[in-house]
Structure 1
């Protein structure tokens, strides 16, 4: 009904996640098995159609090639300027708080078919690829067919502090939201400004009851308080990785460019405190203090955090002109984060599991398949390359010949 007012943005997003995406994903998987033709209707003025056989040939080639998802960008009340500069976003954009580089339901990618550029939703790739894309670990029953890891940026460089928040564990997210797995996160610092920090855990001396009273009073009566007296913070610098298992209070402080590597279940951010600031719509942002405290592990305080959530890089492989470091892994998190450092090139092998690669130092990298006839792909600084499990051996090369560092995300064994 065109006379009805549009749904609020927050409600539209919830409907997409809990109704539309679920129904459409099931329908898409059914139709892919039956289709005769696939129509790319992203450009309604120039729709593109390919036959079932052409579609299958293309997607089989994609399973042997690096894939570069297409990011999209959102402003926010704490958003910064780093992504606008690096990604060459429109100058009139108020700021950029988030870049969503890989969140399966919301992500698309482009593919070249004999000189014609086609755009597909990422769930089509997952539905077609299965184990060829995700490998054995990524297709475990607990992930319910979803691409289990998401990649995005939180940009507060020349911005402000993010809200203090927490995320639910397996028991809570299953009972209250019927989701199959918990929301663990991690922050990799790509760039920082002077004085930057990350909020992580409570301070050793924090009185839990007093902190809760102040949070609830701020939510109800709009009375601010000094969160720095209660929430632990750690100075941040480029190359730092902070692990954020479910139940840990956290938030990026201002002056950070955060590469966020997390579980795909990302719509369950429970806010403790957002400094009583309005969102871009002029309204105060939602606070969920009861739920946030329900999932908070109050034992995660300064000493525990420094021992367990900021790990010292450990060299796991190396050769002439290159090294690989394990920089973050926990038994209760299903992914691990590594960093490749090389002068010219490094040889890699999926060993049957998908890889995610993000260049964080160096102008750009070229990813070249070695065991297949897949296509090489260039990935610029800060962007993402998805390596299908079936691709096998591949080479990462510094495209411009400068030293490079690449964050490598894999499923933990």
Structure 2
């Protein structure tokens, strides 16, 4: 029987009273009816309930529930006012490109999806509905009626969207691609739908009267805009965790299943996304109720308080630090891969920065290894030719040992991986990946002659990869620059601090603290991300009592907003009397 104190559903407490959160359509309808009644229409104007929806929201159920409860005189659906599907497909074709994985970031907005004549006709219909209750819903509802009487934002987590894509339940925005592969739906959402929707969300969410959590169709939840904003303000004043999620993969392992007490359904768990705010959710607690929102909402609402002035000035409303898990214990090697150089990422994909990263060995079985950098005197053209041959002929596997270094990996080792360095984790390793956050820009070079979980070959990006591999990063350079570059920095009673990287080409700094007593920390005006890499439990406290003490458990990642300032960490509970360790990452300024 597995047991774990890893918290899979961390939350930020907002209000003790549960009635701040309405659960179920009947309760939600009652609140909305009262809100509409409290704001009667001005003379000659309709009463409009606008429900702005994040792409992927279940519109059919939403429309059915609200029309049945509210009995509006008219109902307008934003998607009915879009341009023809063929026109939208043509509009997004350029940013999407014909690559199965990569597209180009762009400036499309939700307004670009609308047919101008249809929109004018709908707004004329609204203007003629004097004194009537009109329901306007869908992605772009607030563009149809910018002066709605009551505005509800129906939100949805990215992970839930991906699950709906995989189940074939949703199409992309303005598309009829319900039957398309989930990976292509994800790509289109990543480059088009979510970018456009987030631009509108930044405008609507600060003024929304209500937030509707639509992640669980059987239990929708409604909170007021004021309570949403109170929750976000509470989160940014204290350490917090986002909600982790886990996914199987062709190389996945069993460590997380055992240590985190994950369900037995999938054959393995390859990825654990423990701190990727654009992908993860944030839970707000109202009594026993939990409202789930995308954690990127916090970045949009409080970028300066969360990130700090310097980080916000450089990255805007993006969270630049990513912590995730790669589990190959009982699994296989990751694909041999490389990340794009900064200039390549910008020129080809419109990215402002690239995925520099590192592998911190949270755990490692005997024989675990990391592939990193090229061997000395490698014939680079011959290596590329062998990669091409392996891709074309399954009977000619790529001889990785001939070209790529394989370093033994032990618990607490730290391997630095600046973009342009060929790399992958070998089997039987549990990696805490600390990286920048451009998400999907990994160029696979060789996948060990495997098929994906869908039984199809996974995409290989050899042309991109070959253009970015740095041939000079060979054995001696890698050993001197990238493997366990650990330097003592400071110490005090019951603690010591080490610098473990990252490389000078990378903008993230990492520090490891070993401690048996209280360790002083300070954000120094920038956001910090930490993971408890050793010890059962630790407690994070404010020396001045500015936030409630916060308990974290082994392998949990937590965020300390820039505005927190001074904080301390010490062993707690079952870890008292033992040595603990944290890994901390922050942006160099």
Question: How high is the TM-score relative to the length of structure 1?
Answer: 0.95
Which of 198, 215, 239 in structure 2 is aligned with 1:66?
Answer: 239
Match of 1:179 among 347, 351, 356: 351
Please name the residue that 2:563 is paired with: 390
In 1, the alpha carbon distance for the partners of 2:347 and 2:222 equals 43
Shift of the 370–28 alpha-carbon distance from structure 1 to 2, 3 Å rule, reads: farther
| Distance across 2 between alignment mates of 1:4 and 1:267 | 22
> In the alignment, which residue of structure 2 is the partner of 1:272?
445
CA contact (8 A) 2:519 2:569 kept: yes
Please tell me whether residue 208 in structure 1 is matched to residue 384 in structure 2: no
2:364 to 161, 175, 192: 192
**Does 1 or 2 have the higher relative contact order (CA < 8 Å, sep 6+)?**
1
Q: Say which structure is richer in helix.
A: 2
How far apart are residue 144 of structure 1 and its match? 4.1
Match of 1:242 among 415, 435, 453: 415
Q: Which residue number in structure 1 is paired with residue 328 of structure 2?
A: 156
Aligned with residue 584 of structure 2, among 397, 408, 411: 408
Counterpart of 2:249 in 1: which secondary structure? coil
How far apart in 1 are the matches of 2:471 and 2:432?
26
Task: For residues 84-138 of structure 1, give each alpha carbon's deviation from its aligned partner in whole angstroms, at most 9, with x where no partner exists.
Answer: 1111111232001110112222111212235542222111110111110001232
2:430 to 242, 257, 271: 257
Q: Report deviation, 1:377.
A: 2.4
User: Residue 170 of structure 1 aligns with which residue?
Assistant: 342
Please show how residues 56-135 of structure 1 align to structure 2 within 5 Å.
56-135=229-308
1:144/1:180 contact within 8 Å kept? no
Q: Deviations over 1:150-205 (max 9, x none)?
A: 11111111111111100101110011101111111110001111111100000003
Distance 2:328 2:229 in 1: 42
Give, in angstroms, the shift of residue 301 of structure 1: 0.3
User: What are structure 1's unaligned runs of at least 5 residues?
Assistant: none
Q: What number of residue pairs does the alignment pair up?
A: 412
Q: Structure 1's 11 and 109: CA in aligned 2 closer, same or farther, altered over 3 A?
A: same
Note closer, same or farther for the CA distance 1:35–1:196 as it changes in structure 2 (3 Å cut).
Answer: same
SS of residue in 2 equivalent to 1:292: helix
Contact 2:321 2:529 in 1 (8 A): no
Residue ranges of structure 2 left out of the alignment (5+ in a row) = 1-169
Q: CA deviation at 1:285?
A: 1.4
Structure-2 residue corresponding to 1:52: 225
Distance change (3 Å), C-alpha of 1:220 and 1:150: same
- Partner of 2:278, secondary structure, is helix
Q: CA deviation at 1:393?
A: 1.5
More divergent stretch after superposition (56-65 vs 157-166): 56-65
Q: SS where residue 415 of structure 2 aligns?
A: strand
Q: Which secondary structure does the structure 2 equivalent of 1:69 belong to?
A: coil
**Counterpart-to-counterpart distance in 2, 1:28 and 1:375:** 31
* 1:10-55 Cα deviation digits (max 9, x unpaired): 1122112101210121111111222122223333333333333323
Report if the CA contact (8 A) 2:539-2:569 is conserved. Answer: yes
Structure 2 CA distance for aligned equivalents of residues 131 and 259 of structure 1: 27
**Which residue is equivalent to 2:481?**
308
Structure 1 pair 376–44 and aligned structure 2 pair: CA distance change class (3 A)? farther
Q: Distance in 2 between matches of 1:52 and 1:5?
A: 33
Separation in structure 2 between the aligned mates of residue 96 and residue 189 of structure 1, nearest angstrom: 17
Q: Which residue number corresponds to residue 219 of structure 1? A: 391
CA distance in 2 between partners of 1:32 and 1:92 (Å):
37
Do structure 1's residue 334 and structure 2's residue 507 form an aligned pair? yes
Q: Quick check: which one's strand share is greater?
A: 1
* Deviation by residue 1:270-303 (Cα, 9 ceiling, x = unmatched): 1111111111111111111111000110110000
